[in-house]
Amino acid sequence: MRAGSACLVLCPMMSPPAESHQPHLRLLREHPEDCAYGTLSSGQVICLIVLLVLLGALILWQPWATVITLNTLAILFYLLHIGYKFFLVYRSLHHSSKIKIPPVALSTLRPENLPTYSILVPLYREAAVVPSIVAALAALEYPADKREVWLLAEANDHETQAALSAQALPEGFRVLIVPPGTPQTKPRACDFGLEVATGELLVVYDAEDRPEPDQLKQAAWIFLHSPERLACAQACLNYYNPRQNILTRWFTAEYSSWFDLFLPGLTGLDGPVPLGGTSNHFRTSVLRELAGWDPFNVTEDCDLGVRLHKHGYRTVMMDSTTWEEANSRLLSWLRQRSRWVKGYLQTWLVHTRHPLRLLRQLGLPGWFSFHMTVGGSVLCYLLNPLYWALTLLWLTAHPEAVARLFPPVVYALGLFCLYVGNFVFVYLAVLGCLYRRYYELVKYAILTPVYWLLMSLGAYRGVLQLLSRPSFWEKTDHGFAREEAEP
């Protein structure tokens, strides 16, 4: 096996990659059970085989009873998922757990008391946006002597390196060329960044990000006034091009609902938070303790959020926004979504290698939240097309087989899921728009079921890719946004 490349199955006899002394392989070295180097553990493989064999036998022995049982389980899962998401959002509407720091409080922060900050910006094929990210980060209100900015360029990305050379960098901005190696992923670059970071606090921004100017100060205030077990403050993410086309409108509705309503609800319940890809502010010492990011996981942010919680640390949401570019091109959006789904699946599989240990580490509510948020979301994407097809089939042809799948009680529950569940998820998107004051997007949010179809497409693509190229990072292209005024 080529050093550093990932595989689907992690076998105990498999030796670690030759370059395991490198910083990005610390997690694999120190906590291999938390690393997605091998997606499935040998125990998981055995369980999977036993399950498949058992299922096959049951299907041969009692085909209808087995399929009806599976259908019932799926519908019970839907019920839980609908109730859980609605509960979190409704709770969040009543009392948002986002931490809002009034400007008066920020003004009391004395520069000499501020912690030092490291800002990591992984850049890969981002030459076009180098000037804008430099400008956005230079605009951050934080004493220059208290912050360092690490622009992380890949060794084989000469174009971005050239753009960085041509750019006049402000004080405290440095460029780190990430040595060549695999997997060539964002978390790997961040791990190299973590190695050189000197700040007490650390934040990751993407190349196209535009954080609100006082975001660092807000995060510093939160960490200064919180107990040590608070390890991460996640800022809200939203888009600066929400009205570009129907895709960006739907994407904005989804992000608004996720970051403004769902995640605050989750932190309010003290559940493990699947962090967003950028604008997560950490205590650097905790990141080092946890061996940084998992370079083999393509949603390293989500994975890190779960690991923080497993180790007893907590995450909060802060009321500050980083504006990003919404993916406006369908194919690029599908690639991005596939990666997210693949990463969520990786994360779910990695952390369920020891289910009982996970339950002990997260506690029952956290354990339930983890399954609903990380595994449940993906399962929903995968199951949806199946049930849409069944509904369509039933409405058009009334086949007896479909009727047989739904005995009366299952039918009633299924009908409830269809009727109430669809409404709940559409309305969550509507509420997200209203919360963000994107009033003109409400009418598009009503059409989100079409967007769900795209999500399912992306999910199936992600699953297939997990089987073939588990750690392959599909780059999201930036620079296609039409500029819009912020709301």
Partner 1 sequence: MRRAGRMLEAALLFLVAAALALYAGQRAAEDWQVNWDGLSAVVHAQDIWHRAPEPRLTQIGFVQPPLPALLASAVAIPRTRPDLIRFLPPLLGALYLGLTALVFFKLVRGRGLSRPWAYLLTAALVLHPLLLSQAAGGAPAALRTLLILGMLWGLDEWARSGSLRALLVASLLLGAGLLTRYELVLWVGPIAVTIAVISARAGGYSQAEGTVLAFLLPLAYLAAGWIAACWFIQGDPWYFWRHTFANSPELTSDGLARAASDISLLACPFLTGALWYTLASKRRARAGQFSIALLLGGPVLAAAGASVLGRLSGGPWSQLMAVSCLAMAGGYLLAARGLGDAMRGSGWDLHAVMSLVLAAVGMTAAVHFTQLGMGLPRGLTDTIRGKIAFTGDCHAEAAAAARLREELAPGERAVIAGWPGFAVAAFEGHLNRTILVPTPQPPGGDIPAVEVLLVREDQRGSAQDSWKQALETRLEMLWRVGSWTCYRPVPTQQSP
Q: Which residues bind partner 1 (CB under 8 A)?
A: 90, 93-94, 419, 423, 426-427, 430-431, 433-435, 437-443, 446
Of residues 90 and 472, the one with the C-beta less far from partner 1: 90
Task: Give the residue with the Cβ less far from partner 1, 106 or 426.
Answer: 426
Q: Which is nearer to partner 1, 233 or 428 (CB)?
A: 428
Nearer to partner 1, 64 or 419 (CB): 419
| Distance of closest approach, residue 434 Cβ to partner 1, in angstroms | 5
Q: Which is nearer to partner 1, 100 or 443 (CB)?
A: 443
CA gap 194, 416 in Å, rounded: 49
Estimate the crossing angle of helix 422-435 against helix 63-94, to 10 degrees. Answer: 20
Minimum distance between the CB of residue 345 and partner 1, rounded to whole angstroms?
Answer: 32
Give the span between the Cα atoms of 183 and 359, in whole angstroms.
30
Phi, psi of 62 (to 5 degrees): -135, 75
Nearer to partner 1, 229 or 437 (CB): 437
CB of 476 to partner 1, least distance (A): 29
Alpha helix ranges (H) inside 175-214: 186-196
Is the CB of 124 or the CB of 444 nearer to partner 1? 444
Closest distance to partner 1 from the beta carbon of 250 (Å): 15
The residue among 476, 392, 473 whose CA lies nearest residue 125 is 476
Please list, in sequence order, all residues whose beta carbon lies within 8 angstroms of the beta carbon of residue 71, skipping any fewer than 6 positions away. 405, 406, 410
- Shortest Cβ distance from residue 449 to partner 1 (Å)? 12
Residues 6 or more apart whose CB falls under 8 angstroms from that of 242 comprise: 248, 249, 251, 252, 326, 438, 441, 484, 487
The CB-of-415 to partner 1 minimum distance in angstroms stands at 10
Distance CA 354, CA 129 (A): 42
Two structure tokens written together for 37: 């180097």
Query: Which residue, 141 or 440, is less far from partner 1 as judged by CB?
Result: 440
Contact by Cβ (8 Å): 284, 200: yes
Please state the closest distance from residue 323 (CB atom) to partner 1, in A: 20
Of 233 and 261, nearer to partner 1 (C-beta) is: 261
What number of CA atoms fall less than 13 Å from residue 372's CA on the CB side? 25
- Residue 309 CB, shortest distance to partner 1, in Å, is 27
- Least distance to partner 1 from the beta carbon of 232, Å? 27
For 248, other C-beta atoms within 10 Å of its C-beta total 26
Q: How far is the CB of 433 from partner 1 (least distance, A)?
A: 7
Which of 255, 262, 231 shows the shortest CA–CA distance to 97?
A: 262
Residue tagged 């040590």 (tokens): 228
- Quote the CA–CA distance of 260 and 432 in Å, as a whole number: 7
The answer to whether 251 touches 326, Cβ cutoff 8 Å, is yes
With beta carbons less than 8 A apart as the criterion, state whether 321 and 435 touch.
Answer: no
Q: Among candidates 202, 185, 189, 210, which has minimal Cα distance to 129?
A: 210
Is the CB of residue 391 less than 8 Å from the CB of residue 78? no
Q: Minimum CB separation from partner 1 for residue 1, in Å?
A: 52
Query: How far apart, in whole angstroms, are the C-alpha atoms of residue 217 and residue 106?
Result: 7
- Amino acid at the residue 199: G
In the complex, least distance from residue 413 CB atom to partner 1, rounded to whole angstroms = 14
Q: Which is nearer to partner 1, 21 or 443 (CB)?
A: 443
Instruction: Give the integer Cα–Cα distance in Å for 385 and 383.
Output: 6
User: For residue 261, what are the contacts with CB-CB under 8 A and spacing of at least 6?
Assistant: 88, 89, 92, 93, 428, 431, 432, 435
Q: Which is nearer to partner 1, 31 or 91 (CB)?
A: 91
Give whichever of 243 and 307 is closer to partner 1, judged by the CB atom.
243
One-letter amino acid identity for 414? G
